[in-house]
Amino acid sequence: MSQSDPAPALAGVAPDAGLVRRLPGRSLAFDLSAAALLFLLALTVSVGQGVASVVALAVLCVALAIRRISPGLALGVAWIGAIVQLATLGDPGAGDIAILGVLYATAAYGSRLVRWLGLASAVLGSAVATAYLVFFQPAWRAAEDPTIVEPTTDGSRAMILVLFLGISQLALLGLSWTLGTLVRTTRASRAARVEARIADERSRYEVAVEQERTRIARDMHDVVAHSLAVVIAQADGARYAASVGPDPAAVQSTALATIAGTARTALGDVRLLLAELRHDGSDSPQPRLDDIDGLVEQLRATGMVVELTRSGEPRSLGAGHEIAAYRIVQEALTNALRHGEPDAPVRLALAWTDDALRIAVQNTVRADEAAQSGGSFGHGLPGMQERAALAGGTLEAGRSASEPDRFVVEASIPAIQRETSS
């Protein structure tokens, strides 16, 4: 079963996901809040600059709000806001911080085309900003103020100022884009390591499959050989007792009841073992209920918090039924490890009733587990349901109705009821 498989993306956002992508709720709320806060702060600073300046500020803040939803669209909106600001001869203000955020997003989250458009925008934007400051803003007047720049006769003061403004603008815009590129590179490196680890797990999994099939063949031999030996012994004993005993009918009835019970149990065990041959899960061979303690300790060694509780009077299960119970517990705990909240405890309850073992596994699902993806090993939920059904039991799994962030697996494995003579 796979509640979902995580994708290596930063802040819950997968890069190169098309023109528009979905954001997790918390990420979207953060972006909208940041844009709204910037708008309010910049509006306070720019009081009295006119309606056009407010419009330009609003457009830039919209670009900031959608920078991770659609970096390409955000870049276009940012250009519109900048053009409005330039056309109205507005002063640079706090709202221009949004441009830095948009350039960062184009490099961190955008497609290849959007990334290069972001870089081109940084270069072109620095040139436009420099020209705007030189020709339309008070910064140019610093070149004519002898108290700020040492007077010269060859116009080098203006050249120095232009170079300073150009380099500083390019450094500021380029740094934002570069930081986004570094974050993207780090994310890609992390994804490559994950892929390498998955490839290594797959290789080890293939070896484990062969070992598991060998173990199943051995288990099947043990189950069939033992059951047939009992059947043969009972049949031979009944035939002998019927010829010399005082009550042949009673002897035959007892022997036939034992044979029927043994054959029925063997049939269930063989069906379960044959089902395991169809499974390609990476479960290690641990076929007994007593091994659940070892499984729990193994998972606890990884840092997983497992709370194990037992209740009721233990009853005997057939070998195949123990295999089914163990595999269900193992698969449920493994998926809780892969897809659950790392710091939240996983609750495993084993409750014995008069006629069955009831298994319950609960874990908290990670907040970024929004969609299921392929690539998980094992048959998952269908495989666990098949194991339970072959053992004559049931299994249900899904999100809790009362706590949607909790995933619950509940299974019932019946105890073997052998026929006895009356």
Q: Which residues of the chain have pLDDT under 70?
A: 1-19, 46-49, 137-158, 214-234, 236-238, 240-248, 251-252, 258, 261-262, 265-269, 271-287, 301-303, 367-380, 416-422
What is the rounded distance in angstroms from the CA atom of residue 337 to the CA atom of residue 158?
A: 64
172 and 75 within one domain? yes
Render the burial of 104-133: b for 16+ CB within 10 Å, e for the rest: bbbbbbbbeebbebbbebbeebbebbbebb
**In a domain? residue 19:** no
The total domain count for the chain is: 2
294 and 171 within one domain? no
293 and 169 within one domain? no
Query: Which candidate, 263, 265, 258, places its Cα nearest to that of 237?
Result: 258
CB 384 within 8 A of CB 269: no
319 and 192 within one domain? no
**In a domain? residue 408:** yes
Q: How far is CA 205 from CA 202, 208, 211, 388, in A?
A: 5, 5, 10, 23
304 and 193 within one domain? no
Tell me what pLDDT residue 100 has: 92
pLDDT in tens, 243-262: 666 666 776 677 777 677 66
321 and 178 within one domain? no
Please give the residue range of the domain that contains residue 395. Answer: 284-422
pLDDT in tens, 384-393: 888 888 888 9
Among 175, 198, 221, identify where a domain stops: 198
300 and 177 within one domain? no
Tell me what pLDDT residue 420 has: 46
**In a domain? residue 208:** no
Query: Which candidate, 59, 124, 122, 127, places its Cα nearest to that of 90?
Result: 59
**In a domain? residue 221:** no
Average pLDDT, the chain: 77
Residue with tokens 């199943």: 216
Tell if the pTM clears 0.85, that is, is over it: no
Among 138, 171, 198, identify where a domain stops: 198
CATH number at 368 reads 3.30.565.10
**In a domain? residue 354:** yes
Structure tokens at 289: 């209920």
Structure tokens at 176: 């934002």
Among 198, 223, 250, identify where a domain stops: 198
Tell me what pLDDT residue 89 has: 77
